[in-house]
């Protein structure tokens, strides 16, 4: 241990106190030993430090900070150097606001397009997500503070996220859902990790010994701190034994006392607590040391320009019929769509950033050189139909050479805590598109959203530019691509299916009441579509340019692959060359191809460059469930170089020596997996894969409600008051949406409806404790007066204890 002498000076109570927050955003301090509090802040794409009320959950506006493009956007750049630059600038801004730990990046997989938080995650591919995350972490931590990669692990839905049990086979867990974290730990060297809310195969993530000890600590050698997601602690002692050091936010000393009692009874050896304290002290002391030097304000304009550069390189050109883009000089354009006036530039929930500057499309036309003849909003932002707006938009479109139509998803559709209900763009926007097409077919659509959408309307547009969520400078970046000042180089980090029903997890998302079954196993995203021969709208890795690139002269060696890349067009541009590997053996089920490397190359018109993509320890490996370790299958491998997963330009072959491991599966018991057709796997076959029976997926409505049952389940409560409360919550949600207060309505679903009873104690900063929750449960379970009496007694007892604690603190 690094801080053995310091720890030896602490009382047991002081050590336990460090394991929980001081308030909602700070760790506990111990003044007599000079141990300071450190500040943790949301920050996947910009610092979100609350301007006021640090002791509150954080619904206030944040201190102004640069709002960079979201992770889903930057992943489309496929540029790790750019990711590191974003991280450096995030780190600078964190220091200017005295933030020690930046809660990001998020590396959960895009298992399903409807996950409400996909805008905050990089990709459906763990290799790309891991490499981008590692670059962010390196940049953030180069400034002396800590990144906090999240949410560990298999947190791929928002609905019931605090109670859902993820049922996943070990191979999918390792190859798909943990690989990005592994890269973040081993290559990014993240100093902290945030554990997820959900259970994994029956055990809460932060209590899961297999995840937290066997894999994270022992296999990966992780020495940093694990932080709970806010309110994500279930059994505090079990979490501590698993190595989850820091519980956030504060529980006002309640769980500290649980730790003290557990040490005194021998349930937790004191050396286990000491190791946890040691790791937390290292995080506190190393991130505080940066503040010994003078703190400087960041250059707002410079950071804004960097945000614009990142957005420009992340924009994806998806369609360019007849070379309608870039816009020809002098073309008169009609600007239509509410997102042109008020840019949709970031996600919602815990990642909302208060931007330092905000570019709006209508303010940037003059410098772009594009001639705008006017603007019409064309549609109501939140989906209400308005024929008058459509008529005015069509009248404007008739006068234009080209229509720039800004479409997308609104701020409360993609949000922390809620999953999307469909993959569709709102119907009122599509009605507008159809009407515009009748008067002017020269339509260029500009999409603003953070995740994949269906596009049955794509035949009605000649150009399609996807800006994703481009941050505070995204609007100007899009105009620079439209005008041709910037040659688009972004490529999709996720597949766009033709329709939602084509997705492999369609039948098992977002899961039933208690569980979500990952029956598709390793076949998510392009791994499924390519293997099962399912047509898609846009494949993984796809993106057009204003120039063209030729691939030639492939050479495959033991250490990597080399090839020639030529810019055969008439303007300079950047190309993302992608390495895919497929195993020709059929003894173990595998995807047809998997991403194992990539490189982004700038090439002038007419120029050629030799490009090398090296192999690494992940190129040929698979996880063997019999040996419980990574193995290599001896076989011939196909080495593919492509412009996307579906556009393979060069192919070579390599015979690879294996590790001689036994075959992990009985082929005849897993026919769907060996065919790759996993969109409708039966329960018997899934049980053969996971090696045990699947748990019951529905609530047992005959049992009384308990700590881990959600407020949603009050609809089945024995207590009439609980049932009434449930219906009032549902009504409030409906009513708030009806009157346009959609953000508030969403907050009810996120922070009340899907919250387990224990979350009432864990998320109120100690205002309500678990003894008071016992009273609430009595009321819910039909013993109203006894429960109310118990609640009031425990509240009175807590108020007295808090006063006594404050008095003792004052005397000290």
CA distance 254 to 766: 8
Contact 216/178 with Cβ under 8 angstroms? no
How buried is 566 (Cβ within 10 angstroms: 0-12 exposed, 13-18 middle, 19+ buried)? middle
502 in active site: no
Please tell me whether residue 120 adopts helix, strand or coil conformation.
helix
Sign of torsion, CA 80 131 498 750? negative
CA distance 74 to 45: 10
Which pair of tokens denotes residue 404?
Answer: 């720039």
- What confidence tens digit (pLDDT) does each residue in 265-294 have? 999 999 999 999 999 999 999 999 999 877
Q: Once rounded to an integer, what is the mean pLDDT over residues 514-520?
A: 98
**Pairing of the two strands 165-167 and 199-200:** parallel
Higher pLDDT, 331 or 292: 331
Total residue length of the chain: 812
Contact 228/248 with Cβ under 8 angstroms? yes
Please tell me whether residue 200 adopts helix, strand or coil conformation.
strand
Q: Once rounded to an integer, what is the mean pLDDT over residues 797-802?
A: 89
Averaged pLDDT of the chain: 95
Contact 103/156 with Cβ under 8 angstroms? no
What's the whole-model pTM score?
0.96
Taking each helix axis from N to C end, the angle separating 770-780 and 720-738, rounded to the nearest 10 degrees, works out to 100
**Pairing of the two strands 560-567 and 225-228:** unpaired
Contact 543/318 with Cβ under 8 angstroms? yes
pLDDT of res. 60: 61
**Pairing of the two strands 549-556 and 560-567:** antiparallel
What's 345-381 look like in SS3? CCCCCCCCCCECCCCCHHHCHHHHCCEEEEEECCCCC
pLDDT of res. 55: 47
Residue 809: pLDDT band with limits 50, 70, 90: low
pLDDT of res. 614: 98
Query: Which one is catalytic: 229, 256, 502, 709?
Result: 229
Q: Once rounded to an integer, what is the mean pLDDT over residues 445-473?
A: 97
Residue 806: pLDDT band with limits 50, 70, 90: confident
Which pair of tokens denotes residue 168?
Answer: 């996943």
Q: Once rounded to an integer, what is the mean pLDDT over residues 563-592?
A: 98
Please tell me whether residue 743 adopts helix, strand or coil conformation.
helix
- What confidence tens digit (pLDDT) does each residue in 47-86 have? 998 765 544 454 566 799 999 999 999 999 999 999 999 9
List Cβ<8 Å contacts ≥24 apart for 338-343: 338/377, 338/378, 338/379, 338/380, 338/381, 338/406, 339/381, 339/406, 339/407, 339/408, 339/446, 339/448, 340/375, 340/404, 340/406, 340/446, 341/375, 341/377, 342/381, 343/448, 343/470, 343/474, 343/475
DSSP secondary structure code for residue 445 in this structure: E
How buried is 698 (Cβ within 10 angstroms: 0-12 exposed, 13-18 middle, 19+ buried)? exposed
Domain boundaries, the chain: 8-292, 308-494, 526-690, 711-811
- As a whole number of angstroms, the longest Cα–Cα distance in the chain is 82
Which pair of tokens denotes residue 363?
Answer: 């303010």
DSSP secondary structure code for residue 317 in this structure: E
**Pairing of the two strands 549-556 and 621-624:** unpaired
DSSP secondary structure code for residue 69 in this structure: P
Whether the pLDDT of residue 810 is over 70: the answer is: no
Please tell me whether residue 161 adopts helix, strand or coil conformation.
coil
Which of 160, 166, 75 is closest to 121 using CA atoms?
75
CA distance 178 to 151: 11
Answer CATH for 526-690 from 3.20.20.70, 1.20.1250.20, 2.130.10.10, 2.60.40.10: 2.60.40.10
Whether the pLDDT of residue 393 is over 80: the answer is: yes
Whether the pLDDT of residue 153 is over 50: the answer is: yes
* CATH superfamily, with its number, for domain 308-494: Glycoside hydrolase family 3 C-terminal domain (3.40.50.1700)
- What confidence tens digit (pLDDT) does each residue in 723-779 have? 999 999 999 999 998 888 888 888 888 889 999 999 999 988 889 999 999 999 999
- What confidence tens digit (pLDDT) does each residue in 107-141 have? 999 999 999 999 999 999 999 999 999 999 999 99
∠ CA 502-508-513, rounded to 5°: 150
pLDDT of res. 807: 76
- Separate counts of helices (H) and strands (E) for the chain: 25, 26
Bridge-partner residues for 375, per DSSP? 335
DSSP 409-439: --TTTSBTTB--S-SPPPHHHHHHHHHHHHH
Residue 225: pLDDT band with limits 50, 70, 90: very high
Bridge-partner residues for 763, per DSSP? none
- What confidence tens digit (pLDDT) does each residue in 609-655 have? 999 999 999 999 999 999 999 999 999 999 999 999 999 999 999 99
Q: Once rounded to an integer, what is the mean pLDDT over residues 453-474?
A: 98
- What confidence tens digit (pLDDT) does each residue in 401-449 have? 999 999 999 988 888 888 999 999 999 999 999 999 999 999 999 999 9
CA distance 173 to 520: 12
CA distance 311 to 85: 13
- What confidence tens digit (pLDDT) does each residue in 680-695 have? 999 999 999 999 999 9
Percentage of residues in the chain with pLDDT exceeding 90?
A: 89
What CATH number does the domain located at 8-292 have?
Answer: 3.20.20.300
- What confidence tens digit (pLDDT) does each residue in 171-220 have? 999 999 999 999 999 999 999 999 999 999 999 999 999 999 999 999 99
pLDDT of res. 811: 60
- What confidence tens digit (pLDDT) does each residue in 466-511 have? 999 999 999 999 999 999 999 999 999 999 999 999 999 999 999 8
Contact 247/195 with Cβ under 8 angstroms? no
Whether the pLDDT of residue 13 is over 60: the answer is: yes
């Amino acid at each position: 241990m690094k801080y053995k002498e310091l720890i030896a000076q602490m009382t047991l109570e002081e050590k336990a106190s460090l394991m929980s927050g001081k308030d909602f955003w700070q760790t506990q301090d111990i003044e007599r030993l000079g141990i300071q509090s450190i500040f943790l802040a949301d920050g996947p794409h910009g610092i979100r430090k609350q301007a006021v009320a640090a002791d509150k959950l954080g619904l206030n506006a944040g201190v102004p900070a640069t709002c960079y493009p979201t992770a889903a956007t930057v992943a489309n750049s496929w540029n790790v150097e750019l990711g590191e630059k974003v991280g450096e600038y995030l780190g600078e801004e964190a220091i200017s606001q005295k933030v020690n730990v930046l809660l990001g990046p998020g590396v959960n997989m895009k298992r399903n397009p409807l996950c409400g938080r996909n805008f905050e995650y990089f990709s459906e591919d763990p290799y790309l997500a891991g490499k981008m995350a590692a670059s962010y972490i390196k940049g953030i931590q180069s400034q002396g503070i800590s990144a906090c990669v999240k949410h560990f692990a298999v947190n791929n839905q928002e609905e019931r996220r605090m109670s859902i049990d993820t049922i996943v086979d070990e191979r999918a867990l390792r190859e798909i859902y943990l690989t990005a974290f592994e890269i973040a730990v081993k290559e990014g060297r993240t100093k902290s990790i945030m554990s997820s809310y959900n259970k994994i195969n029956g055990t809460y993530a932060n209590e899961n010994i297999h995840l937290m000890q066997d894999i994270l600590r022992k296999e990966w050698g992780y020495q940093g701190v694990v932080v709970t997601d806010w309110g994500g602690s279930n059994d505090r002692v079990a979490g501590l034994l698993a190595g989850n050091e820091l519980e956030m936010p504060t529980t006002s000393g309640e769980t500290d006392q649980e730790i003290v009692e557990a040490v005194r009874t021998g349930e937790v050896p004191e050396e286990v607590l000491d190791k946890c304290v040691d790791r937390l002290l290292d995080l506190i002391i190393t991130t505080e040391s940066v503040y010994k030097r003078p703190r400087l304000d960041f250059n707002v304009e410079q950071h804004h320009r960097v945000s614009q550069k990142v957005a420009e390189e992340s924009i994806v050109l998806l369609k360019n019929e007849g070379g309608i883009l870039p816009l020809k000089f002098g073309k008169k354009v009609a600007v239509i769509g509410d997102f042109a006036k008020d840019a949709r530039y970031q996600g919602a929930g815990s990642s909302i950033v208060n931007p330092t500057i905000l570019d709006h499309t209508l303010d940037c036309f003059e410098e772009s050189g594009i001639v705008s003849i006017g603007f019409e909003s064309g549609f109501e932002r939140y989906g209400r139909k308005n024929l008058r707006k459509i008529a005015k938009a069509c009248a404007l479109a008739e006068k234009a050479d080209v229509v720039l139509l800004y479409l997308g998803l609104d701020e409360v559709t993609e949000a922390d805590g809620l999953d999307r209900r469909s993959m569709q763009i709102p119907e009122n926007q599509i009605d507008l598109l159809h009407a515009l097409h009748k008067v002017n077919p020269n339509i260029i659509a500009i999409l603003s959203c953070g995740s994949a959408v269906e596009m049955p309307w794509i035949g009605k547009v000649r150009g399609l530019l996807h800006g994703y969520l481009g941050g505070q400078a995204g609007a100007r970046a899009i105009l620079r691509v439209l005008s041709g000042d910037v040659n688009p180089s972004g490529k999709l980090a996720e597949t766009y299916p033709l329709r939602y029903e084509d997705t492999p997890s369609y039948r098992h998302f977002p899961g039933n009441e208690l569980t979500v079954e990952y029956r598709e196993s390793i076949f998510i995203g392009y791994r499924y579509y390519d293997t099962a021969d399912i047509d898609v709208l846009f494949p993984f890795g796809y993106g057009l340019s204003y120039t063209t690139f030729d691939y030639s002269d492939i050479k495959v060696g033991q250490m990597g692959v080399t090839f020639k890349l030529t810019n055969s067009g008439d303007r300079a541009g950047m190309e993302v060359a992608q390495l895919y590997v497929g195993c020709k053996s059929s003894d173990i089920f595998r995807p047809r191809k998997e991403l194992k490397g990539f490189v982004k190359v700038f090439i002038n018109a007419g120029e050629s460059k030799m490009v090398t993509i090296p192999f690494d320890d992940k190129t040929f490996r698979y996880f063997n469930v019999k040996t419980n370790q990574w193995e290599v299958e001896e076989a011939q491998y196909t080495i593919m170089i492509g412009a996307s997963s579906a556009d393979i330009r060069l192919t070579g072959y390599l015979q690879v020596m294996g590790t001689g491991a036994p075959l992990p599966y009985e082929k005849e018991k897993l026919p769907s997996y060996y065919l790759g057709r996993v969109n409708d796997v039966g329960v018997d076959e899934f049980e053969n894969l996971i090696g045990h029976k699947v748990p019951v997926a529905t609530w047992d409505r005959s049992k009384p409600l308990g700590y881990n049952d959600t407020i949603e389940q009050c609809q089945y409560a024995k207590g009439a008051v609980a049932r009434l409360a449930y219906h009032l919550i549902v009504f409030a949600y409906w009513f708030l949406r009806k009157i346009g207060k959609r953000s508030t309505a969403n907050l009810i679903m996120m922070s009340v409806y899907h919250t387990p009873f224990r979350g009432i104690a864990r998320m109120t900063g100690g205002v309500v404790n678990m003894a008071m929750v016992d009273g609430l449960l009595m009321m819910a379970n039909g013993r109203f007066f006894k429960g109310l009496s118990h609640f009031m007694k425990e509240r009175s007892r807590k108020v007295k204890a808090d006063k006594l604690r404050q008095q003792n603190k004052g005397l000290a």
